[in-house]
Structure 1
Amino acid sequence: MANSPTAGELRHRVAFDKRGASTGPDYGNEEGPFAEQFQVHAAFRSRGGSEAVVAARLEGRNVLGVYVRSSTQTRQIESDWQMRDVRTGERYAVKIVDAVTDRRWVYLEVSTGVAA
């Protein structure tokens, strides 16, 4: 893992949302809307971007490395959750969760432009 963040880098307030169970009639789609689980402060580190061709169009994707303090809440995060920047409203799909390498931090790799 890269250098651990300092307290001053925890500038972003983020919310983690988990997809709930469907409340409507079941037509094979068992996933409901996202529901907020908790909010924490996070440090963002850019991991570069990428481009993907989707439906014959070029789409840009931004990949971020995100550090949050390890707690009972943050160790529950899974790769099917979404992260939301509380200030801007930007939504990120959580792709990678590492809560093992450093017991003080949970490292997440999140990206924009993809479905959560």
Structure 2
Amino acid sequence: MNKTFNQDKPIYLQIREKIEDQIVNDQLKEGHQAPSTNQLVSFYKINHATVSKGVNQLVEEGILYKKRGIGMFVVEGAKSKLLQKRKDAFVDHYVIGLVQEADNLGISESEIVELIKKVKGRELN
């Protein structure tokens, strides 16, 4: 895990995103124990309340669950839930604007697809 934080975003959100990334990337498996708030506080050298706020958001969203006296665990289905959330955000943040601008420029759907294929092909080389 990267110990540095971006100054443009609250740290509790970055903690949350780091845990989400670990779930999406299979570093934290569904049903397995997640790092405790105390472990995260010690690792990142940040305030307990900051870590708790990020972790508690994941609990509220059904990504993590608490076993009293044992710790936090990744909920079954958490990865697919996170992937769907990220896909929806991708559409909202990128695809809608891309399609709107393509319409403004008179770029057809097939041209958009070809441009995407061209860019992806460039990244593969």
TM range (shorter): under 0.3
The TM-score normalised by the length of structure 2 is 0.26
The answer to which structure has the higher strand fraction is 1
Which structure would you say has the larger Rg?
A: 2
Decide which structure has greater helix share.
2
Q: TM-score of the superposition, structure 1-length normalised? A: 0.27
